[in-house]
Amino acid sequence: MKPVLNNNLPKSVAIKSGRISERYRLFLYASPLLLLVLLFSYLPLYGWVYAFFNVRPGFSLFSSEFVGLKWFRSLVSNPTQTAEVVRVMKNTMAMSTLGIVTSIFPVIFAILLTEIRSKRFKKWVQILTTLPNFISWVLVFSIAFMLLSVDSGIINKIMISLGIQDAGINYLASDSYIWLKMTLWSLWKGLGWGAILYIAAISSIDQELYDAAKVDGAGRFRLMWHITLPGVMPTYFVLLLLSIANFINNGLEQYYVFQNPINKNSIEVLDLYVYNIGLLGSNFSFATTVSMLKSLISIMLLFFANRLSKLVRGETII
Amino acid sequence: MELQRTNGDRLFSVFNYTFFALFTFLCVFPFYYLFIQTISGNDLSARGLVTWYPKDIHLTNYLEVLKIKGLSHAALVSVGRTVIGTILTVLGSAFLGFLFTKRRMWGRKFWYRFVVVTMYFNAGIIPWYIIMMNLHMTNNYLAYILPAIVSPFYVILIKTFVESLPDALQESAELDGAGIMTLFVRIVFPLILPIAATTAIFSAVAQWNSFIDTVFLMTEAKYHTLQYVLLKYLNESNSLASIIRSQGTSNVDLTNLQTPNSIRTTVSMFVVIPILLVYPFFQRFFVKGIMIGAVKG
């Protein structure tokens, strides 16, 4: 592509020669779509300048005071703000870590499912356990709301009839075990779906490996351990690296729907915190600062994961 | 060659089947539970007396709830963004993916990377929100459509797919004097239909399920989607109470007056039904679909 990029031909030539003008025509066809990418993915980078101003709601950037690195300094020098950010980082990292720890579950799920002999059972399990992946977090919350409702929810009914608790407990308006609860909800939603990739990986393992091992007298568990597991590990490793790259990117939707004043302290992850202080608290500039730092750290983590992948697998992930 | 069955083997099988039966039950039961709440007597479900099977079956909820002011409009907003958004996303991403296979395109590699890189970084939600505000995308239906049109995942997927097609097909059409548009519409698009269908289904599900953009950008009720309205009903018992108060005494059947419970569950059903309806058709796209997440730029 080099010759195209340093193409210094005068415009008249470009019009006369059909071949060159086709280059630009192709680009022209693409340009409205590229413009959309520019507007919605690149232009937001310009929003970063808000981190260096003191923008108040209702005021434009131009009527705002330039404050330099004030917001960055306040991250470390203002004790209340530092404490807040530390709390939020703790939530973010705790839930990401739990996410990484549980990321082995889809692998186990896939290996166990391929051990099921009934094709029909296997198919139905796959279809039905994938369903929760396709509903929105709002609906997941609605389901949680319904199942955990204090006076009509099935969970409270069961707990009371088993004698585990005397009265209905409002599980959603509670601050305890939030990290674990959030991890369990994302497992409920994502486990079946997450396993599909591994099931595909397992089905592409050479059948001869199994046959050869069987001839050598390997039992079912040895086959799983020595052939199936190593067979899916490369796939798992790539996804693991990607989850390292996304370590502080645990999203907003799930925590947004589940948050309430009671669990706010332990559910606020970075994105949610930024939303809460930026859009609800109207501290645009500080929210932008945190948002910007988060993006920069994410990029660094991605490069780190990519480098790690290159070192270990000899192949990059991006 | 069949394996010899040991006791450990049998035990393992029992454990295995039990585990999957249980987990599958956990995945399906909430949907069933939701459904039986909506068709059971509203007074019974509000008191938590409907657990395993429906009681006093009636279907009035589905009609009554649709009468709530703004709800059918919200459904329309959701359907609109799903239909328009999906069509434009598929066409836009497919066309761009196709153009990126044209080696003669000016700066092809650069522009391809320009698009793909957006998969791995974003400026952050607040800077994004600021720019969306400056682009007048708040309280603007276009905010549901335009940002979704170019999806880097789909662009990569379609580019790879088009590259795998034999060149001869396009070449012969080009010799016959077909322009880029003709080439795309007549030759390439029919060939990429299987992969376009996959992207269509995933983009439709994403559009239907999306709500955080409404949270950020839409303050006016006329842009609120079904998802957003459901979230509001879950979080604001006040708005539900006023709906219930406004339903008046015209309703003769006193046992099935709307309760917060019945409204929430019925709206949830409206949110989940479209997914359940298309689900049987699209699970055969699963493996292709997960590819979308796994392809390399």
Is A71 contained in some domain? no
What ipTM goes with this model?
A: 0.90
Task: Give the residue numbers spanning the domain of A239.
Answer: 79-313
Residue of A nearest to B131 (CA): A44
Residues A100 and A59 in one domain: no
- Please name the residues in contact with A137: beta carbons below 8 A apart, sequence gap of 6 or more: A253, A254, A256, A257, B211
Residue among A294, A316, A291 at smallest CA distance from A304: A316
pLDDT of A4 reads: 44
Q: Please give the interface size between A and B, counted as residue pairs whose CB atoms are below 8 Å apart.
A: 272
With contacts defined as CB-CB under 8 Å, which chain B residues touch A131? 27-28, 31, 279
Delimit the CATH 1.10.3720.10 region(s) of chain B.
71-220
Picking from A63, A92, A112, the residue at the C-terminal end of a domain is A63
Give, for all 318 residues of chain A, the pLDDT tens digit: 334 444 444 444 444 445 558 889 999 999 999 999 999 999 999 989 888 888 776 667 777 778 888 888 888 888 888 899 999 999 999 999 999 999 999 999 999 999 998 999 998 999 999 999 999 999 999 999 999 988 888 898 888 888 888 888 888 888 889 999 999 999 999 999 999 889 988 988 888 999 999 898 888 889 999 999 999 998 899 889 888 888 988 889 999 999 998 999 999 999 999 999 988 877 888 899 999 999 999 999 999 998 998 888 888 777
pLDDT at B283 over 90: no
Residues A48 and A118 in one domain: no
With contacts defined as CB-CB under 8 Å, which chain B residues touch A23? 104-106
pLDDT of A316 reads: 79
Mutate to test the interface with B, among A135, A302, A310 (most CBs of B within 10 A): A135
With contacts defined as CB-CB under 8 Å, which chain B residues touch A147? 30, 33
> Between chains, do B104 and A125 touch, taking CB under 8 Å as contact?
no
Picking from A39, A63, A87, the residue at the C-terminal end of a domain is A63
Is A74 contained in some domain? no
A window 185-244, beta carbon within 8 A of B: 188, 191-193, 196-197, 200, 211, 214-215, 219-221, 238
Picking from A63, A87, A102, the residue at the C-terminal end of a domain is A63
Residues A134 and A158 in one domain: yes
Give the CATH number, domain containing residue A86.
1.10.3720.10
Is A68 contained in some domain? no
Is any Cβ of chain A less than 8 angstroms from the Cβ of B286? yes
Is A70 contained in some domain? no
Residues A243 and A121 in one domain: yes
With contacts defined as CB-CB under 8 Å, which chain A residues touch B162? none
pLDDT of A1 reads: 37
CA distance between the termini of chain A = 21
Is any Cβ of chain A less than 8 angstroms from the Cβ of B95? yes
Q: What is the pLDDT of residues A259-295, one digit of tens each?
A: 998 999 999 999 999 999 988 877 888 899 999 999 9
B window 52-91, beta carbon within 8 A of A: none
CA dist., res. B153 & res. B139, Å (int): 27
The mean pLDDT of B58-76, rounded to a whole number, is 88
Is any Cβ of chain A less than 8 angstroms from the Cβ of B216? yes
Question: What pTM, to 2 d.p., does this model score?
Answer: 0.89
Indicate the average pLDDT of chain B: 87
pLDDT of B251 reads: 52
pLDDT of B108 reads: 93
Mutate to test the interface with A, among B3, B95, B130 (most CBs of A within 10 A): B130
Is any Cβ of chain A less than 8 angstroms from the Cβ of B24? yes
With contacts defined as CB-CB under 8 Å, which chain B residues touch A167? none
Residues A38 and A109 in one domain: no
Residue of B nearest to A203 (CA): B287
Residues A19 and A151 in one domain: no
Q: Facing residues of A66 across strands?
A: A53
Residue among A191, A45, A11 at smallest CA distance from A106: A191
pLDDT of A13 reads: 44
Mutate to test the interface with B, among A7, A21, A36, A37 (most CBs of B within 10 A): A37
Name the architecture of domain B71-220: Orthogonal Bundle (1.10)
Residues A232 and A116 in one domain: yes
With contacts defined as CB-CB under 8 Å, which chain A residues touch B181? 29
Q: Facing residues of A65 across strands?
A: A54
Residue of B nearest to A271 (CA): B125
> Between chains, do A135 and B111 touch, taking CB under 8 Å as contact?
no
Q: Facing residues of B172 across strands?
A: none
Is any Cβ of chain A less than 8 angstroms from the Cβ of B16? yes
Residues A46 and A131 in one domain: no
CA dist., res. B68 & res. B169, Å (int): 54
A284 alpha-carbon distance from chain centroid = 24
Q: Nearest CB to B121: which of A50, A115, A299?
A: A299
Residue found under tokens 């359940």: B276
Residues A52 and A85 in one domain: no
Number of independent structural domains in chain A = 2
Residues A246 and A103 in one domain: yes
> Between chains, do A129 and B234 touch, taking CB under 8 Å as contact?
no
The DSSP code for A156 is H
Is A18 contained in some domain? yes
With contacts defined as CB-CB under 8 Å, which chain B residues touch A156? 48
Residue among A99, A115, A131 at smallest CA distance from A246: A99
With contacts defined as CB-CB under 8 Å, which chain B residues touch A42? 118
Q: What is the pLDDT of residues A5-20, one digit of tens each?
A: 444 444 444 444 455 5
Is A131 contained in some domain? yes
Residues A212 and A291 in one domain: yes
Residue among A232, A149, A134, A306 at smallest CA distance from B264: A149
> Between chains, do A142 and B210 touch, taking CB under 8 Å as contact?
no
